[in-house]
């Protein structure tokens, strides 16, 4: 099974539990890994034989910029469902959502949530 990956997509969003997060916003970064049978399906160097990652990126950007949640877990789950429904030829999807401005007293780079789903699962 082939993989199409779109890595390190960055968006300024207003997701979060705290009022400051909802008012000031912060950067979310996403990776999307799309499982698609590239080896069997892409035979003629034709975009119609594959998944347009430009379209997938646009779907992700539109979703992220128009939806706000308290939890990045909800962002990940709802986006996963949206992508699986929008692109039924994608066999499975793994999303990683990273949040950098987390109000935790400690030293770390980010908090990351990872979710996966497939067309075989209920989503």
Q: Give per-residue pLDDT as tens, 82-120.
A: 999 999 999 999 999 999 877 788 888 999 999 999 998
Q: Is residue 32 part of a domain?
A: yes
Report the predicted TM-score, pTM, of the whole model to 2 decimal places: 0.90
- Looking at the domain assignment, is residue 90 inside a domain? yes
Q: In which domain, by residue range, is 98 found?
A: 2-118
- Number of structural domains (the chain) is 1
Is 123 a domain residue? no
**CA pair distance 17, 72, nearest whole angstrom:** 10
Residue 14 has phi, psi (to 5 degrees) of -125, 40
CATH code, domain with 104:
3.30.1130.10
Q: Is the pLDDT of residue 29 over 60?
A: yes
Confirm if 106 and 55 have CB atoms less than 8 A apart: no
Give how far the C-alpha of residue 102 lies from the chain's centroid of Cα atoms, to the nearest Å: 19
């Amino acid at each position: 099974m082939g993989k199409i990956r779109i890595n390190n997509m960055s968006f300024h969003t207003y997701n979060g539990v705290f009022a400051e997060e909802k008012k000031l916003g912060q950067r979310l970064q996403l990776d999307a890994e799309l499982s698609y049978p590239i080896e069997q399906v892409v035979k003629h160097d034709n975009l119609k034989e594959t998944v347009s990652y430009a379209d997938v990126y646009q779907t992700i950007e539109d979703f992220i910029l128009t939806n706000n949640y308290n939890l990045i877990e909800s962002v990940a789950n709802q986006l996963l469902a949206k992508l699986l429904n929008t692109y039924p030829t994608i066999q499975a999807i793994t999303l990683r959502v990273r949040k950098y401005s987390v109000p935790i007293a400690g030293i770390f780079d980010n908090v990351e949530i990872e979710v996966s789903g497939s067309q075989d699962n209920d989503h």
